Structure 1
Amino acid sequence: MALMQRFLTFLLMFFAVTLAACASAPERPVSVESRPLANARPIPQAEVTLSPLARVAPPAATAVDTPLQPLGAAAPATAKNAHIALLLPLNSPAFGRAAEAVKQGFMAATSVQAGDLPIRVYPSGDQPDDIVAAYSRATQAGARIVVGPLTKNGVSALAASNQVSVPTLALNQPESLSDIPPQLYVLALAADIEARQIAQAAFGEGRKTAVIVASGNSLAKRMQLAFADEWTQLGGELVSQLNFSGSNPDAVRDALQRHPADMLFLAMDGGEARQLRPYLSSDQPIYATSQIYAGKNNPEKYYDLNGIHFIDMPWLLQPDHLAVMVYPRPQAQFSADLERLYALGIDAWRLALLLQAAPTSTPLTLDGVTGRLSLDKGHQIERAGVLAVFRDGDAAPLTP
């Protein structure tokens, strides 16, 4: 009996010590990181695609000069935020319609050729500081490719900002192409680029002497300077450069008779060319840029411009081409200028997909709806348009 009592006493002491130890042990926290909340719902993809993030202001980005790498090389920690950023001046009264046309073309192209990453739109104004700030927000939020800016001053500001840290496709030319960050690429619809291509086409056809007739606006002056520079570099002779004000067609005609040349380049728009055309010889080859063409939907025919050669994009000149037909047309009727910007959006998406995966050492080529696009070296994406001529009141492509 005494032995049994000692055994029971030992058991009681053992349980008392065990209970005391459990009471004094610290409470272990319960992890909820891997457990979804009861009322949580997953966010559909549509809610994060095309979401305007202009009001979100993460910390400032740190510029990192890195070579273009395939997207598969991204760090897993940032993969969940990876996206393609579309940076456009949608909040600008001056450029909002142009930006909207680019955006619509961009999204139309995604319906034909989908990408692996979601797209986020970053609206901005047209002030350089606002554009650079929007770019910084995009890269800080995880953008792996940025498409934009659209305005010349925006591209210039971004190029000088030391903020370009991911492959970026600018949609206009900066003020200078001499000092562009390694990750910045330029695709532009600049009329002065077309003027250089007209000089190359005319010289290639055997023309050796040229006269330029330019109107007085700044765009015409840029076309005039570009053609003159390219023509003389090719070895052509520039016989004369004349100004057309709209009120001096007789003076232009007389000057052309005194200074004959193999060809005439018109640095002006379609309305000005219609004014001047009756005073020009029907025997002299005449060339112009896309500024002379208002598209097939223009109510005015082009009989008074018959015989003038010009350059434009397949989107307007070859709408029945298989490579063009695959992309949907704008739902609303656009002017020719907005159609060109819509086409720019289509090719911008296609180039973004190429830049997403190609190293910088790989040449890029694309039969785009804005023209034949190529990037061999440097940062300027060359765009070769389609040569056409006005014939029987309509535009007839000369390039196959």
Structure 2
Amino acid sequence: MLYKWAKLALAAGILLNGLCPPALANTTTGDAANADADGNTIPLASIALLLPLRSSPLGAAADAVRSGFLNAYERDKSGLAVTVIEAADTPSDMLAAYNAASKKYDILVGPLSRTGLTAIIQNGKVEKPTIALTQPDFSGGKDAVLPTQLLPIGLSIEAEARQVANWVGTDYAPGKVLVLSTSTAWQKRVASAFAQQIQGSGLHAEVVTLSLENGVFNVDALTQLQQRVEGEMPRLLFAALNADQTKQIRIAIGDQTPIFGISQLNPLTLGDSNPDHQIPELNGVRLVDIPWQVQPDNPAVMIYPRHEVAADQRRNADMERLYALGIDAFRIAHEVAARNTVFQIDGVTGKLNVNFGAGTPGFERVEPTAAYQNGIVMPLDIP
């Protein structure tokens, strides 16, 4: 997922080896304490942000999260101190960094990888509020019970697929949905999440796995798909694909059948007006994506600076999403520091519903709906 970044570490979930050992306290910023109206000292809440900043596969992603987190902190730092900790992202090194930080800080934010998070969960010692930047891997029969002090908030393409299933299940039932995928792991997971969620809606999902070679679909496979669409007349297609792959599908079958997808159909960034980057072939294709990518008028989006990139570089949509994740991670940490246990945030990654600190953790992210218009992705007014 996450396009080029996805190829390196989808949802920051790849296994890493041979990285540098953890080093604590790379950067600390914040006041020593606050005072109440009577001048009494209020203890400072300390936050540790654990990221693999020196990792070859994950360093750029970690830096994007760090930048978003610290920019959000600069807007609302009162009573908080943030320490950025370089934590090598092998499971053992991440666990060592996490355990050391747990002894020194009130709130921990991280890790970024699923392997790191799995190591922390399996260690069984989550004793401080921990805001994970990824989603746990409960495949292989693992018990899907999280520690009460752990809140995973990572961006999830599977959750996006489920949201799209709820969306189309309301508007397009009854009938058939063709779910298009390749054999790529993240696409199979997205297709499966959609197909499972659509059950009971009145729509019947059939997964179609297409052969891909060097990024190009087999011509015969596209012809067969076109014939199947014309013969079976599905209510819609769900593309568990990226934008370029979906473009090939659209050219092959035409625009008569609605196509829906997730954020991976949007490789553009907000404000990118370069005509060369536009994809008019996808006009009318609908998807979900985070506000940071599709809602320039969202109040939360407007108040934060954009992710800085070199003048000769094009903004990367997946790095923008991770930067936005950093912003919302700080906002959640701020609420946790204030000892709020049930709260909502109109975030830059979506509308966030959080239940944390009193019983079983709960987290939901609802992303805005959008559609391609004139080659770019624009927000829709429908929910």
With the length of structure 2 as denominator, give the TM-score of the two structures: 0.80
Partner of 2:304: 327
1:144 to 106, 121, 125: 106
Q: Give the Å deviation of 1:233.
A: 4.4
Partner of 1:163: 125
Q: Please tell me whether residue 349 in structure 1 is matched to residue 317 in structure 2.
A: no
Give the percent of matched residue pairs that are identical in Structure 1 and Structure 2.
34
Aligned-partner Cα distance in 2 for 1:56–1:339: 27
Q: Work out whether residues 92 and 124 of structure 1, in 8 Å CA contact, stay in contact via their aligned partners in 2.
A: no
Partner of 2:319: 338
Aligned length: 325
Aligned-partner Cα distance in 2 for 1:143–1:174: 23
Residues 399, 168 of structure 1: alpha-carbon distance in 2 compared, 3 angstrom cutoff? farther
Q: Which moved more, 1:178-187 or 1:108-117?
A: 108-117
- For structure 2, the 5+ residue unaligned runs are 1-20, 26-33, 36-41, 212-216
For 1:273, give the aligned amino acid: T
Q: Give the Å deviation of 1:393.
A: 1.4
Q: Work out whether residues 112 and 326 of structure 1, in 8 Å CA contact, stay in contact via their aligned partners in 2.
A: no
Q: Give the Å deviation of 1:367.
A: 0.3
Q: Work out whether residues 22 and 93 of structure 2, in 8 Å CA contact, stay in contact via their aligned partners in 1.
A: no
Please show how residues 223-234 of structure 1 align to structure 2 within 5 Å: 223-234=190-201
Q: Give the Å deviation of 1:234.
A: 3.6
Q: Work out whether residues 195 and 223 of structure 1, in 8 Å CA contact, stay in contact via their aligned partners in 2.
A: yes
Please show how residues 1-400 of structure 1 align to structure 2 within 5 Å: 54-55=22-23, 83-140=46-103, 142-176=104-138, 178-209=144-175, 210-238=177-205, 240-245=206-211, 246-247=217-218, 248-296=221-269, 297=272, 299-332=276-309, 334-358=315-339, 362-376=341-355, 378-399=360-381
Alignment partner of 1:205: what SS?
Answer: helix
Q: Give the Å deviation of 1:280.
A: 2.2
- From the CA coordinates, give the structure whose radius of gyration is larger: 1
Aligned-partner Cα distance in 1 for 2:23–2:126: 21
Q: Which moved more, 1:296-305 or 1:261-270?
A: 296-305
Q: Give the Å deviation of 1:82.
A: 5.3
- For structure 1, the 5+ residue unaligned runs are 1-52, 58-70, 73-78
Q: Which structure 1 residue ranges, 4+ long, deviate > 6 Å from structure 2? A: none
Q: Give the Å deviation of 1:89.
A: 1.4
For 1:147, give the aligned amino acid: V
Q: Give the Å deviation of 1:155.
A: 1.2
Q: Work out whether residues 164 and 183 of structure 1, in 8 Å CA contact, stay in contact via their aligned partners in 2.
A: yes
The structure where strand makes up a greater share of residues is 2
Aligned-partner Cα distance in 2 for 1:269–1:175: 23
Residues 56, 215 of structure 1: alpha-carbon distance in 2 compared, 3 angstrom cutoff? closer
Aligned-partner Cα distance in 2 for 1:105–1:56: 20
Q: Deviations over 1:228-287 (max 9, x none)?
A: 01001444322x221122112112212223332211100100111111111224221210
Alignment partner of 1:204: what SS?
Answer: helix
Q: Give the Å deviation of 1:292.
A: 0.8
Residues 115, 254 of structure 1: alpha-carbon distance in 2 compared, 3 angstrom cutoff? farther
For 1:280, give the aligned amino acid: I
Q: Give the Å deviation of 1:161.
A: 1.1
With the length of structure 1 as denominator, give the TM-score of the two structures: 0.77
Aligned-partner Cα distance in 1 for 2:327–2:159: 20
For 1:261, give the aligned amino acid: P
Q: Deviations over 1:201-224 (max 9, x none)?
A: 111223333111112211100100
Q: Work out whether residues 344 and 353 of structure 2, in 8 Å CA contact, stay in contact via their aligned partners in 1.
A: yes
Residues 82, 396 of structure 1: alpha-carbon distance in 2 compared, 3 angstrom cutoff? closer
